[in-house]
Structure 1
Amino acid sequence: MAKKRRLRRSFRAARLFMAVILVAVFLWWNNATLVVKQFDPAFPTLPPGFDGCRVVVLSDLHSAQFGRDNETLLETVAEQSPEYIFLVGDLLDQYRPLPEGYAASIAAGLSAIAPTYYVTGNHEWALGDVPALKKALTENGVTVLSNQAVTLERFGDTIVLAGIDDPNGYADQKSPETLAAEIAQKWGDPFWILLAHRNGRFAGQYSLLGADLVVSGHAHGGIIRLPFTDGLISHDLKLFPSYTAGLYYENGATLFVTRGLGNSGPSFRLFNRPEVAVLTLHTGAQ
C-alpha cells in the first residue's frame, strides 16, 4: 500500500510539473511570438492612386527584442512588403532596461524596408531626453513627425500624413486642433491620416479634427483578450476598455488601433500575441 501511495504521489507531482511547463510555454508563446494581422479599411474619399497601398503599423515595443537585434521583427515586417511603416509610440519603456543602440538599430532596420514615420508615446517622455531619441531616429532614416504634416505620393495622387507628439510632451507644444487648422489652410480638404499614440482620445478629440484615418496604439490590445470583449483590462487598470484593437468609426473618422508588440514593466499578454498590423487602404464605401 505504501508503495502504491508513493506511486500516486509521484504521478500527481509529474502531472503538476507538466502542467506548470505547459502554462509557462503558453505564456511565453503569448508574449514572445509575433502574429501578423491584416486589415482592409475602405474610404470613399481615398484618392485612387492610394487604392491598395500597404502600410505596416507598429507600436508599443517597450524596448522588447524579437530575435537578436530584433531580426525576427524586421524579417516579419519585410515579408509584408509594406510601402510605408508607421511607428506610433512607446518604442522605449521607462520600467525596462534599454539595450545599447536600440532606437538607432530599429530605425535603421525599418527604414531600410520602407519609408518609416514615427510619433512619440507617453513612455518616451517619461524616460526623458526625447530630443536625443528623435535625433537618433532621424539619423537612421526615420521621419519624426512632431506636430507637423508631410505629403505622400503614389501613382500621381497625394495624401497628407500628420503626426503629433504625445500629450506627455512639452506643455506649450502645438495642439492637434492647431495642426488640423494648418492642414486645412495649406491643403484645403485633403485625405489625411493622423498618427497619434493615445487611442483613448479618439472619440472626444481626434475624431473631430477632420482626419480620415487616425492610427494609434497605447492600449496593448486590452492586455487579456477574451471572447466578445475589447480586452479585459486597460494599461491603466480599468476593466473592459474600448478602442483597444482593430477598426472603429466615430464622427465620420476611422480609427485603427494596433495591439502593439511589447509589455510595460511587469505586465504580460494573454490571448493577445504581439502584433504586426498590415493596413491595406481601399477606395470605396466603408
Structure 2
Amino acid sequence: MHNMTGRIKRFVFLSAAFLFVAAFDIRLHIKHYEITTDQTTETLRIALLTDLHSCKYGKDGETLIRAIDSQQPDLILLGGDICDDVIPDDNVEALLKGISGRYPCYYVTGNHEYWSGRIDDILELFRSYHVTVLNGSSDTIKIGTQPVTVCGVTDPDAVTYAGAADIRSQLDALSDTRPPECYTLLLAHRPELIGLYLQYDYDLVLSGHAHGGQWRLPGIINGLYAPDQGWFPRYAGGMYVKNDQVMIVSRGLARESTKVPRIFNRPELVIVTVKPAIEDRNK
C-alpha cells in the first residue's frame, strides 16, 4: 500500500510539472491553415505576423527569421502592433533587416503604434526596409501567374491619433479600386470588426490584436479575454468561415512585453496555404 501511495504521488507530481511547463510554454509555434478556393489557379503561401510588440526572438531575430525562411512564403503580411508603445524598436528593425528584399512585405498599423506617440518614425522605419505600408490602400502583385491584390486599413485609433479616415471610409474607397480578376486579401488589425469586413466580399481577411485571448484551455476555451471583445472572445484566434469568406486571426507573437503571461497559448507564426480547387479535384 505504501509503494502504491508513493507511485500515485510521483504520478501527480510529474503530471502537475508537465502541465505547468506546457501551460507556460512560450516557444514559437508555426500554425498552418489551408484554404481551397475557385478564385486562384496557383497555390499561394502567406506568412502572417501580428502583435510582435517589439519582442526578442533570438539574436537579431534569428529564431523568427529562420522560422519564416523554413516555410518559403510567397509574401509576408505584418498585421499591426509589430512595434510596442513602450519597448524600443531594435528587435523590429532586426526582423525587417532579415526579411527586407527577400519577400514582398506588407504592413498595417495596430493601436500600439499610435499609442507610442512616434507613428511617423515607425512608418518611416518600415518604408526604409522596403515594406509596403497599407493605409486604406492596396497593391496587386503576381505570384507565378496568379494576380493577388493585398488591401490594408489602418487601425481605428488612427482616426483619433492621426486624423485618418475611419475604417468604413477606407473600405469604401478600396472597393472602387479592386481588380475583379484577382484573389483579394484584406489585412486589418482588429478581428472584432469582421461584420464590417464581410460587407466588402474579400476572399481572405487576416487579423491579430486578440493575443489568443491570453489564457486558453485547448478544446474547451479558445481564449479568456481579448481587447475590444471582452471575456471569452469569439475571435481570439483561428479560422472563421462566413459563407465563402474566410477570416484568419493570429494569436500573435508577444512574449516578454505583456504583463499577463500566456497560458496554453504559444506565440505563433501563421502560415496560410491557399490552394486552387481544381488541384484538389485532380488528386
Q: Fold match, TM over 0.5?
A: yes
1:6 maps to what in 2?
none
Q: What CA distance in whole angstroms lies between the structure 2 residues aligned with 1:42 and 1:18?
A: 42
Percent identical: 31
| The 10-residue stretch of structure 1 (141-150 or 18-27) with the greater mean CA deviation from structure 2 | 18-27
Relative distance call for 1:141 and 1:188 in structure 2 (3 A) is closer
Task: Note if 1:254 corresponds to 2:246.
Answer: yes
Alignment of 1:133-212 (within 5 A): 133-171=122-160, 172-189=163-180, 190-202=182-194, 204-212=195-203
Relative distance call for 1:19 and 1:82 in structure 2 (3 A) is same
Q: Secondary structure of the residue that 2:67 maps to in structure 1?
A: helix
Relative distance call for 1:183 and 1:192 in structure 2 (3 A) is same
2:74 maps to what in 1?
83
Q: Secondary structure of the residue that 2:140 maps to in structure 1?
A: strand
List structure 1 runs of 4+ shifted beyond 4 angstroms.
17-28
Q: What CA distance in whole angstroms lies between the structure 1 residues aligned with 2:171 and 2:185?
A: 11
Relative distance call for 1:22 and 1:282 in structure 2 (3 A) is closer
Alignment of 1:236-255 (within 5 A): 238-250=230-242, 252-255=244-247
2:3 maps to what in 1?
none
1:69 maps to what in 2?
60
How far the C-alpha of 1:235 sits from its partner, in A, is 3.7
Alignment length (residue pairs) = 266
Structure with larger Rg: 1
Structure 1: gaps (5+ residues): 1-11
Q: What CA distance in whole angstroms lies between the structure 1 residues aligned with 2:258 and 2:32?
A: 28
Alignment of 1:1-286 (within 5 A): 26=22, 30-31=25-26, 33-44=27-38, 46-48=39-41, 51-94=42-85, 96-98=86-88, 101-171=90-160, 172-189=163-180, 190-202=182-194, 204-226=195-217, 227-235=219-227, 238-250=230-242, 252-263=244-255, 264-284=257-277
TM-score, normalization by structure 2: 0.83
1:4 maps to what in 2?
none
Relative distance call for 1:25 and 1:188 in structure 2 (3 A) is closer
Q: What CA distance in whole angstroms lies between the structure 2 residues aligned with 1:233 and 1:178?
A: 29
How far the C-alpha of 1:61 sits from its partner, in A, is 0.6
Relative distance call for 1:113 and 1:268 in structure 2 (3 A) is farther
How far the C-alpha of 1:79 sits from its partner, in A, is 0.8
Q: What CA distance in whole angstroms lies between the structure 2 residues aligned with 1:228 and 1:272?
A: 13
Deviations 1:251-280 (A, max 9, x none): 542101111111453111111111011100
How far the C-alpha of 1:143 sits from its partner, in A, is 1.2
How far the C-alpha of 1:20 sits from its partner, in A, is 10
Letter in 1 for 2:76: I
